[in-house]
Amino acid sequence: MASTALPPTSLNPYQQTHEEKEQQYPVHYRGVKDLVDNGSRTLPQIYVKPPDERLVINSDQQQIPLIDLSELEGAGRSATVEAIGRACRDWGFFLVKNHGVSESTMENEMRVGREFFHLPTEEKMRYFSTDHKSRMRYATSFNVKEDKTLNWRDFLRYSCKPLEEMVPLWPDKPTDFRKENAEYIRKIGDLASILLSAISESLGLPSEYINEVYGDYSQYMAYNFYPACPNPEQTLGLPGHSDPGGLTLLMQDDVGGLQVLHEDHWVVVRPVPNTLVINLGDQLQILSNDIYKSVEHRAVVNSNRERISVATAYGPSMSTLIAPAPQLVNSSSPAVYKGCVYGDFLDSLESGSLHKKSVLDCLKLDMS
Ligand code: OGA
Ligand code: NI
């Protein structure tokens, strides 16, 4: 009788046994935490970055703006919107405080993430996949199959939508991972939508313009885990990149390592308790017709302490066509980009590596 078992080589990570994955993947696919736990005291060559990628041109003089959101829904709305607009124009990055996500919700979100990365590698490998389209996966580097040099970073990335469908696919260890994530995701999603209203207004668009364009928006979470590193100056946690989506809302712990490219200097984004780091992705650069930029940033690592961050990528639905807002286009400011369906944009980006601005450049209209 024919067997009904799935072939053992099935690429569905949920259907592969641990042994199958072991046989299939090189050892460095298991992540940098695994490498360190197995006693590696030097940096393997594959993590060494070319010198131009790890250039240190830090500026200690400047800091990204910190915006207090406590007055956003009150009498101080127009001043707050103006401050947000200025930060978007000048930096593409800002910190927010009094943002409505409670201290305990933030702490719990960090704690369950940290506990996940401290699980045995075998447990994390249950979720391992090289498929960048996977809606739930644990992996390392950026695109471990394609990257020429690897990044000192393990990550867990998963979709939040539809929530009821996604929750059962999330890790079941630590036991409160799903509960805490469901809570954080709701709160951070509300904040994203509030910020997008303010950003719309700051561009002179109707308050709900961007939220309406995004429609049935997408929301992805990514925990980034950066273990202490033997030779941190030779590698990077994440190389310079811009975020492809709409808005990124990042919570980082107290270690620090995020840097933003500003006027040709890498400016350190210092950790400030109870703040979130907000930055604009490529889809807002396109929609704003280059009034706002999706700014390059990177994560450096250090030899003393592991670091964790959790990024929320809030953007259009995959089938949404993103183009410059017609209200921002006129004869003196012609459209800089042609429109592109967000899902197609991601496909072009993710089939390559984390290239700076390459997909965005392809969408540029000929201005000559
Ligand atoms: C990202 C990112 C920076 C950090 O996840 O896209 O840029 O500090 N993270 O972890
Ligand atoms: Ni990023």
* pLDDT score of 13: 52
Q: How far is the CA of 339 from the centre of ligand 2 (A)?
A: 23
Nearest to 121 by CA among 44, 6, 225: 225
State which ligand 1 atom lies nearest to the alpha carbon of 277.
8
pLDDT at 166 over 80: yes
Mean pLDDT of 306-324: 98
Residues with CB under 6 A from ligand 1: 222, 224, 238, 243, 250, 252, 257-258, 297, 299, 309, 311
SS3 state of residue 78: helix
- Which of the four pLDDT bands, split at 50, 70 and 90, describes residue 355? low
Mean pLDDT of 262-268: 92
> To 10 degrees, what angle do helices 177-202 and 103-117 make?
120
Exposure class string for 204-242: b at 16+ Cβ within 10 A, else e? ebeeebbbebbeebbbbbebbbbbbbbebeebbbbbbbb
State the Cα–Cα distance between residues 189 and 184, nearest whole angstrom: 8
* pLDDT score of 16: 60
Q: How many percent of the chain have pLDDT more than 70?
A: 91
State the Cα–Cα distance between residues 257 and 264, nearest whole angstrom: 18
State which ligand 1 atom lies nearest to the alpha carbon of 307.
10
22-320 CATH: 2.60.120.330
* pLDDT score of 28: 87
* pLDDT score of 347: 87
Q: Which class for 173: exposed (0-12), middle (13-18), buried (19 or more C-beta within 10 A)?
A: middle
State which ligand 1 atom lies nearest to the alpha carbon of 309.
10
The protein residue with its alpha carbon nearest to ligand 1, atom 8, reads 258
Q: Which ligand is nearest to the CA of 151?
A: 1
- Which of the four pLDDT bands, split at 50, 70 and 90, describes residue 9? very low
pLDDT at 7 over 70: no
The protein residue with its alpha carbon nearest to ligand 1, atom 6, reads 243
SS3 state of residue 41: coil
Show the CA angle centred on residue 307, arms to residues 133 and 61, nearest 5°. Answer: 110
- Of 1-15, 56-70, 264-278, 353-367, which gets the smallest average pLDDT? 1-15
pTM: 0.92
